[in-house]
């Protein structure tokens, strides 16, 4: 698909020329500019006033070294990042990712996407993202702690409860957030809501752990119901077995679906009787084991090496919840061939552009990550509110708010798509609805 606006086409070219190696960032920007072309055509002031040019350039990129010592006394040096992308509507907000694949392109793509996603939640939060090429797999708790402390020794200078509030992402869960928050508190001598996803004993919100996966299913449920379908009796395939995947599995099951497959970066399990989620939680949340151990404890289940063929399993609903570009065109073709009628993205940018086109051409209901996985950051923003009030809501109160946010988000994205002549296209609708609030705020501030 091409960008139907000459200026935005040129802008895309400049983005590529400026940082030629940043392929993930180019992919994310292209998808958004395709969607925004009708808006730019209708509102030329957005180009004239520099909003579009500013939108694709982070306000600030912080890049730093993270030296740490392993248990044998050897020194390692990783690289840390924080991209503060856009603060037009609130403090920068977005997760930290610890994974060997992390580089500036990945953090920029995530920070760019986060700007629209956060706007879509209707809450006052800007977009940012950070992380490191550090791999927590196979490290002892003490090594992870030393790494997190060193990471925060630099990051603390740039964040704060009214400036930038990081959270978790791939490789950053409750353990890492605890070490990071502890070090921030030590360095600043203050107890503030500077990170979200905190433990419940020190300022965390109930339902934050569940929020992204639950929110994904609430969004998907809205989309399915609008098309006269539901999770009830549906066979569901979920990639990943981390935070998002586990709670997507829990909610999809509660809504009447049967989840038959999950994965990690080595391979996937298939359990025709339905995934035993307690076992997955035990393996992933407690033992930090590989997903293949599942079949040792669950007779009749199968394990297959490699991730991508998970999409060959026949299903009605697919929820990609692992990582970017994990659902390529071949996977999309297999899903379509097997009668899959809905795909809702839990991970960020999991479908490649050609896979996304294939779903839309085949009439598969498609929920894009920016909208469908916004539940995590929405509850993070609720955690910030609770921290500011020094007060906690119950699980039910937070969950109820999450449900309302995801329904509003679905409605706003579908209405925006309809208003710009692309009814049913939630990719365009989410990009447009997220963009408008940010753009109008940027216009109000003037060029700074």
Active site residues: 129
User: Judging by beta carbons within 10 Å of its beta carbon (0-12, 13-18, 19+), is residue 18 exposed, middle or buried?
Assistant: exposed
Name the DSSP letter for residue 287: S
What whole-number distance in Å separates Cα of residue 415 and Cα of residue 380?
Answer: 26
Parallel/antiparallel/unpaired status of strands 75-86 and 302-305 = unpaired
Least distance to ligand NDP, CB of residue 330, Å: 15
Number of residues lying near ligand NDP (CB under 6 A): 25
Least distance to ligand NDP, CB of residue 176, Å: 10
What character string, x for contact with ligand NDP (CB under 6 A) and - otherwise, covers 119-158?
Answer: ----------------------------------------
What character string, x for contact with ligand NDP (CB under 6 A) and - otherwise, covers 67-96?
Answer: ------------------------------
Joined together, the tokens standing for residue 178 give: 């605890």
Tokens 């035990």: give the residue.
282
Alpha-carbon separation of residue 399 from 154, 231, 334, 385, 448 (angstroms): 35, 19, 34, 15, 39
What whole-number distance in Å separates Cα of residue 1 and Cα of residue 310?
Answer: 27
Using the rule CB under 6 A, is 170 a contact of ligand NDP?
yes
Kindly tell me which residue out of 169, 210, 383, 399 binds ligand NDP, with binding defined by CB under 6 A.
Answer: 169
Using the rule CB under 6 A, is 323 a contact of ligand NDP?
yes
Confirm if 428 and 417 have CB atoms less than 8 A apart.
Answer: yes
Least distance to ligand NDP, CB of residue 149, Å: 20
Least distance to ligand NDP, CB of residue 228, Å: 28
Kindly tell me which residue out of 166, 204, 240, 331 binds ligand NDP, with binding defined by CB under 6 A.
Answer: 240
User: Judging by beta carbons within 10 Å of its beta carbon (0-12, 13-18, 19+), is residue 343 exposed, middle or buried?
Assistant: buried
Nearer to ligand NDP, 322 or 358 (CB): 322
- In sequence order, the 6+-apart residues with CB closer than 8 A to the CB of 77 are 65, 66, 67
Using the rule CB under 6 A, is 205 a contact of ligand NDP?
no
- Number of helices (H) and strands (E) in the chain: give both, helices first: 17, 12
Using the rule CB under 6 A, is 265 a contact of ligand NDP?
yes
DSSP string, 179-224: HHHHHHHHHHT-----SSS--GGGTPPTTHHHHHHHHHHHHHHHHH
Kindly tell me which residue out of 376, 406, 426, 430 binds ligand NDP, with binding defined by CB under 6 A.
Answer: 376
What whole-number distance in Å separates Cα of residue 294 and Cα of residue 308?
Answer: 19
Nearer to ligand NDP, 62 or 347 (CB): 347
CA angle 176, 180, 186 (to 5 degrees): 145
Least distance to ligand NDP, CB of residue 333, Å: 19
Using the rule CB under 6 A, is 243 a contact of ligand NDP?
yes
Span near ligand NDP by CB under 6 A; candidates 218-226, 235-243, 360-368, 411-419: 235-243
Using the rule CB under 6 A, is 348 a contact of ligand NDP?
yes
Kindly tell me which residue out of 347, 365, 384, 432 binds ligand NDP, with binding defined by CB under 6 A.
Answer: 347
Residue ranges that bind ligand NDP, judged by CB under 6 A: 168-171, 173, 212, 240-245, 264-266, 307, 321-323, 326, 346-348, 373, 376
């Amino acid at each position: 698909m091409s960008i139907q606006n000459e200026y935005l086409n040129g802008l895309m070219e400049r983005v590529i020329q400026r940082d030629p190696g940043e392929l993930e960032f180019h992919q994310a920007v292209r998808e958004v500019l395709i969607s925004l072309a009708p808006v730019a055509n209708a509102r030329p002031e957005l180009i004239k006033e520099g909003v579009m040019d500013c939108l694709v350039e982070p306000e600030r990129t912080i890049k730093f070294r993270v030296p740490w010592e392993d248990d044998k006394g050897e020194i390692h040096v990783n690289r840390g990042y924080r991209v503060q992308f856009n603060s037009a509507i609130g403090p920068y907000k977005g997760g930290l990712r610890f994974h060997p694949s992390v580089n500036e392109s990945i953090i920029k793509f995530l920070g760019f996407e986060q700007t629209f996603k956060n706007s879509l939640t209707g809450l006052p939060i800007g977009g940012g993202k950070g992380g490191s090429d550090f791999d927590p797999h196979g490290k002892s708790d003490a090594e992870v702690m030393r790494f997190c402390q060193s990471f925060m020794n630099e990051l603390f200078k740039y964040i704060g409860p009214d400036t930038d509030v990081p959270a978790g992402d791939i490789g950053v869960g409750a353990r890492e957030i605890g070490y990071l928050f502890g070090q921030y508190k030590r360095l600043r001598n203050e107890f503030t809501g500077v990170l979200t996803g905190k433990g419940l004993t020190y300022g965390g919100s109930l339902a934050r752990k569940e929020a992204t996966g639950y929110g994904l299913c609430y969004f998907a449920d809205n989309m399915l119901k609008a098309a006269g379908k539901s999770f009830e009796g549906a066979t569901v395939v979920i990639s990943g077995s981390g935070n998002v995947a586990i709670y997507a599995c829990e909610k999809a099951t509660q809504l009447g679906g049967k989840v038959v497959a999950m994965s990690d970066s080595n391979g996937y399990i298939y359990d025709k009787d339905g995934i035993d989620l307690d076992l997955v939680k035990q393996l992933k949340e407690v033992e930090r084991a590989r997903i293949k151990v599942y079949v040792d404890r669950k007779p009749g289940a199968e394990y297959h090496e490699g991730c991508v063929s998970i999409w060959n399993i026949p299903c009605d609903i697919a929820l990609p919840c692992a990582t970017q570009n994990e659902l390529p065109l071949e996977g999309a073709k297999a899903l379509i061939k097997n009668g899959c009628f809905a795909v809702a993205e839990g991970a960020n940018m999991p479908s490649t552009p050609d896979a996304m086109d294939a779903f839309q051409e085949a009439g598969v209901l498609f929920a894009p990550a920016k909208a469908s996985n916004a539940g995590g950051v929405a509850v993070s923003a609720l955690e910030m509110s609770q921290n500011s009030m020094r007060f906690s809501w119950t699980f039910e109160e937070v969950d109820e708010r999450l449900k309302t946010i995801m329904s509003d988000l679905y409605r706003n994205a579908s209405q925006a798509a309809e208003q710009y002549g692309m009814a049913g296209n939630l990719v365009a609708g989410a990009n447009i609805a997220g963009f408008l609030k940010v753009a109008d705020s940027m216009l109000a501030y003037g060029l700074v």
